[in-house]
Protein backbone atom coordinates (compact mmCIF):
# COMPACT_ATOMS: atom_id res chain seq x y z
CA UNK A 1 0.00 0.00 0.00
CA UNK A 2 0.91 3.65 0.20
CA UNK A 3 3.42 5.15 -2.17
CA UNK A 4 3.79 2.02 -4.31
CA UNK A 5 0.07 1.55 -4.86
CA UNK A 6 -0.38 5.25 -5.57
CA UNK A 7 2.39 5.13 -8.16
CA UNK A 8 0.93 2.05 -9.80
CA UNK A 9 -2.52 3.60 -10.08
CA UNK A 10 -1.19 6.87 -11.49
CA UNK A 11 1.33 5.34 -13.89
CA UNK A 12 -0.95 2.62 -15.25
CA UNK A 13 -4.26 4.46 -15.17
CA UNK A 14 -5.73 1.37 -13.53
CA UNK A 15 -9.21 1.78 -12.09
CA UNK A 16 -10.35 0.05 -8.94
CA UNK A 17 -13.77 -0.85 -7.64
CA UNK A 18 -15.08 0.33 -4.28
CA UNK A 19 -13.99 -2.72 -2.31
CA UNK A 20 -10.45 -2.61 -3.71
CA UNK A 21 -10.28 1.13 -2.96
CA UNK A 22 -11.26 0.33 0.62
CA UNK A 23 -8.71 -2.49 0.85
CA UNK A 24 -5.82 -0.31 -0.35
CA UNK A 25 -6.80 2.63 1.82
CA UNK A 26 -7.98 5.19 -0.71
CA UNK A 27 -11.59 4.96 0.49
CA UNK A 28 -12.73 5.22 4.10
CA UNK A 29 -15.92 3.22 3.76
CA UNK A 30 -18.14 1.46 1.25
CA UNK A 31 -21.92 1.50 1.47
CA UNK A 32 -24.60 0.01 -0.76
CA UNK A 33 -25.88 2.45 -3.41
CA UNK A 34 -29.30 2.67 -1.74
CA UNK A 35 -27.65 3.92 1.49
CA UNK A 36 -25.18 6.34 -0.12
CA UNK A 37 -27.20 9.56 0.20
CA UNK A 38 -28.18 8.86 3.81
CA UNK A 39 -24.60 8.03 4.79
CA UNK A 40 -23.25 11.11 3.01
CA UNK A 41 -25.80 13.29 4.80
CA UNK A 42 -24.94 11.70 8.14
CA UNK A 43 -21.23 12.38 7.56
CA UNK A 44 -21.94 15.97 6.49
CA UNK A 45 -24.08 16.56 9.62
CA UNK A 46 -21.33 15.13 11.80
CA UNK A 47 -18.78 17.49 10.26
CA UNK A 48 -21.23 20.39 10.37
CA UNK A 49 -21.69 20.02 14.12
CA UNK A 50 -18.05 20.99 14.65
CA UNK A 51 -16.78 24.57 14.88
CA UNK A 52 -16.67 25.99 11.36
CA UNK A 53 -13.65 28.18 12.07
CA UNK A 54 -11.72 25.12 13.25
CA UNK A 55 -12.77 23.12 10.17
CA UNK A 56 -11.56 25.93 7.89
CA UNK A 57 -8.23 26.03 9.68
CA UNK A 58 -7.84 22.25 9.56
CA UNK A 59 -8.45 22.23 5.81
CA UNK A 60 -5.98 25.08 5.37
CA UNK A 61 -3.34 23.35 7.50
CA UNK A 62 -3.74 20.09 5.59
CA UNK A 63 -3.18 21.94 2.32
CA UNK A 64 -0.25 24.02 3.58
CA UNK A 65 1.48 21.19 5.44
CA UNK A 66 0.97 18.40 2.90
CA UNK A 67 4.32 18.79 1.21
CA UNK A 68 6.15 20.49 4.07
CA UNK A 69 9.38 18.84 5.18
CA UNK A 70 10.24 21.41 7.84
CA UNK A 71 8.64 20.21 11.07
CA UNK A 72 9.29 23.58 12.71
CA UNK A 73 7.26 25.34 10.01
CA UNK A 74 4.41 22.84 10.48
CA UNK A 75 4.41 23.35 14.24
CA UNK A 76 4.49 27.14 13.82
CA UNK A 77 1.45 27.08 11.50
CA UNK A 78 -0.44 24.78 13.84
CA UNK A 79 0.38 26.93 16.87
CA UNK A 80 -0.85 30.05 15.10
CA UNK A 81 -4.08 28.29 14.08
CA UNK A 82 -4.61 27.04 17.63
CA UNK A 83 -4.13 30.54 19.01
CA UNK A 84 -6.80 31.81 16.60
CA UNK A 85 -9.17 29.02 17.65
CA UNK A 86 -8.73 29.95 21.31
CA UNK A 87 -10.09 33.43 20.51
CA UNK A 88 -13.18 32.18 18.68
CA UNK A 89 -16.77 32.22 19.98
CA UNK A 90 -16.87 28.46 19.29
CA UNK A 91 -13.99 27.88 21.71
CA UNK A 92 -15.79 29.83 24.41
CA UNK A 93 -18.93 27.78 23.73
CA UNK A 94 -16.93 24.55 24.05
CA UNK A 95 -15.52 25.64 27.42
CA UNK A 96 -18.95 26.72 28.70
CA UNK A 97 -20.56 23.49 27.52
CA UNK A 98 -17.87 21.45 29.27
CA UNK A 99 -18.29 23.37 32.52
CA UNK A 100 -22.08 23.09 32.28
CA UNK A 101 -21.86 19.36 31.39
CA UNK A 102 -23.82 19.74 28.15
CA UNK A 103 -23.22 19.27 24.46
CA UNK A 104 -21.86 22.38 22.75
CA UNK A 105 -24.03 24.29 20.27
CA UNK A 106 -21.55 25.75 17.82
CA UNK A 107 -24.31 27.09 15.56
CA UNK A 108 -25.43 29.43 18.32
CA UNK A 109 -21.82 30.44 18.96
CA UNK A 110 -21.38 31.35 15.29
CA UNK A 111 -24.47 33.54 15.25
CA UNK A 112 -23.40 35.29 18.44
CA UNK A 113 -26.37 34.14 20.55
Residue 1 has pLDDT above 80, yes or no: no
The answer to whether position 39 is within a domain reads no
SS3 21: helix
Q: What is the predicted pLDDT for the residue at 111?
A: 53
The answer to whether position 103 is within a domain reads yes
pLDDT bracket for residue 60 (50, 70, 90): very high
The answer to whether position 59 is within a domain reads yes
Q: Which of 3-7, 16-20, 42-46, 107-111 has the lowest mean pLDDT?
A: 107-111
For residue 83, the enclosing domain spans: 51-111
Residue 109 has pLDDT above 70, yes or no: no
**15-54 per-position pLDDT tens digit:** 999 999 999 888 999 999 999 999 999 999 999 888 888 8
Q: What is the predicted pLDDT for the residue at 113?
A: 47
- Residue 46 neighbours by CB distance under 10 Å: 9
* Percent of the chain with pLDDT strictly greater than 90: 73
**Total domains in the fold of the chain:** 1
Amino acid sequence: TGFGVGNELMLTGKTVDANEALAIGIADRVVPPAELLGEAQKLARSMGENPQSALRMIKQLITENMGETDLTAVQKREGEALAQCYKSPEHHEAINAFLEKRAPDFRGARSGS
